[in-house]
Structure 1
Amino acid sequence: MTPVLEARHLTRHFGAIRAVDDVSFALAPGELLALIGPNGAGKSTCFNMAMGQLAPSSGQVLLEGRDITGWPARRIWRAGVGRTFQITATYASMRVIENVQMACLSHHRRTFSLIPRAHRLYRDEAMALLETVGMGAQAERHAAILAYGDLKRLELAMALAHAPRLLLMDEPTAGMAPGERAALMELVAGIVAERGTAVLFTEHDMDVVFGHAQRIMVMNRGQIIADGTPQAIRGDARVREVYLGGGAITAGRGADG
């Protein structure tokens, strides 16, 4: 089976600093993969190269076998990759449903229709996406007054607007209460199971990582030092030493950056 996402020998230098050093991995359809590591491990750099926000110094990024190395982020989005951000990217002045309609307009290449009838386009499609993420009842509220957890759900609905085959989630539960974190990741896991979407996410909350990821990759100093099931990672001596200072990996522990 062709991987949805494949990184081959990715390297990224910032002057004399090698932020990512010969990283290779593959992500299968319907797989929920967490990328974790201590501050400065190279997670964000690796993540941003996969989305086209940062060009690698060397190596390749493949999407379903197609080389997308160096493509701009918008072109990668068009190719079937969704993205959510650590800090939510929504339109605060618009209603919830209008935010999702905007994503639908972009997907259908109808941004030229913004004036004067955009509010009438793709309402049913937008409402279906909001129902998927449990936000249907808040469709007419303004995004500016939403609780942070609901903003995260809204952003997820927007990311799903073009039915991505790959979803990249940067700190999806950052800033959320513990109950909201679990609910959001259960929602993501359900989408993975129902649609076969592959998901790569970075996360600091170990409850989220070990409670929901099917597979975990651990980075340190620009390299992947472990890759396996949550059970295997929990028992990996090198992970405990490098990532958590030699202690046991327990719920509620995390790392910065």
Structure 2
Amino acid sequence: MTLLRIEHLSKSFDGVKAVHDVSFSLEAGRLLALIGPNGAGKSTCFNMINGQLRPDAGSILLDGKSIAGKHPRDIWRLGVGRTFQVAATFNSMTVLENVQMALLSHERRIFNLLSRVASWREDEAMMLLDLVGMSMHARRSCAVLAYGDVKRVELAVALANRPKLLLMDEPTAGMAPEERNALMALTARLAKERNIGVLFTEHSMDVVFEYADTLIVLARGELIAQGNANAIRNDPHVREVYLGTGASFSPHAALERGAAQ
């Protein structure tokens, strides 16, 4: 079942084509990696899907309905969750309160923070924290958590609206190899269990080739290749513009390089 369909998406800034005529689709329960060198248009494409930017041309269809140009909060309430390259949590709040705030937002009760907020939807928030392995830290401040744990809290927040689509911008940035593989293994499991489509950008090729069902490659705003890990790894154009020669690249080599860092 096609969950997200992008057709002929384009965006320019002062005459520079950041994204040009990009089309792809994502099925529910699958992981799609959007990769490319710096300046390829990945963030622009992401921000159009999530509502931060309005496309100049093209369509963005979620379950067959257009979401192009909608406000991010409206897209969130349609079932699109998001995590960010720099984890977006409230350090002044506890882990539990961060998830409760997301639940309040989804219920449109963000401005009704009165007497019993501390216990509002606590069971549901704890369930989400348990899903990501953070329930034991529920009463701790986000400010004192290790960065890998903050990323897990952010994932719980992104799941608060029971998303059908999850957008993850550099989900493993700043994480050690063991942490990033654990986070992506968790994401892949939740995607399949909950039938969530996951679109993610990522620079760690070990993560991309290990967990993405399909990859799409952008270069200078244009889609130059799409397919599974083997197809992308062996695509001469991709190897030229993004992976170098690719002669020594393999998932195992990437894992070994990551472990040595």
What is aligned with 1:18?
17
Percent identical: 60
What is aligned with 2:128?
129
Contact 2:134/2:153 (8 A) holds in 1: yes
1: CA distance between counterparts of 2:226 and 2:173? Answer: 23
Give secondary structure in 2 for the equivalent of 1:69.
Answer: coil
What is aligned with 1:158?
157
Give secondary structure in 2 for the equivalent of 1:233.
Answer: helix
What is aligned with 2:146?
147
How is 1:63-78 mapped onto 2 (pairs within 5 angstroms)? 63-78=62-77
Structure 2: segments with no counterpart, 5+ residues:
none
- Residues 197-252 of structure 1 deviation map (CA, whole Å, 9 limit, x = unaligned): 00000000001001111111111011111100011111111110111232333416
2: CA distance between counterparts of 1:193 and 1:4? Answer: 14
Report the residue type matching 2:82 in the other structure.
R
Instruction: Answer with 234-243 or 149-158: which moved more.
Output: 234-243
1: CA distance between counterparts of 2:100 and 2:5? Answer: 31
Question: Shift in Å at residue 112 of structure 1?
Answer: 3.2
Question: Shift in Å at residue 115 of structure 1?
Answer: 2.1
How is 1:161-200 mapped onto 2 (pairs within 5 angstroms)? 161-200=160-199
1: CA distance between counterparts of 2:107 and 2:57? Answer: 34
Report the residue type matching 1:103 in the other structure.
A
2: CA distance between counterparts of 1:193 and 1:152? Answer: 20
What is aligned with 1:45?
44
For these two proteins, the number of residue pairs brought into alignment is: 253
1: CA distance between counterparts of 2:98 and 2:55? Answer: 32
Report the residue type matching 1:174 in the other structure.
A
TM-score normalised by structure 1 residue count: 0.96
Superposition RMSD in Å: 1.3
1: CA distance between counterparts of 2:55 and 2:106? Answer: 27
2: CA distance between counterparts of 1:72 and 1:121? Answer: 26
TM-score normalised by structure 2 residue count: 0.94
Report the residue type matching 1:73 in the other structure.
P
Report the residue type matching 1:172 in the other structure.
P
2: CA distance between counterparts of 1:191 and 1:219? Answer: 27
Report the residue type matching 1:226 in the other structure.
A
2: CA distance between counterparts of 1:91 and 1:111? Answer: 15
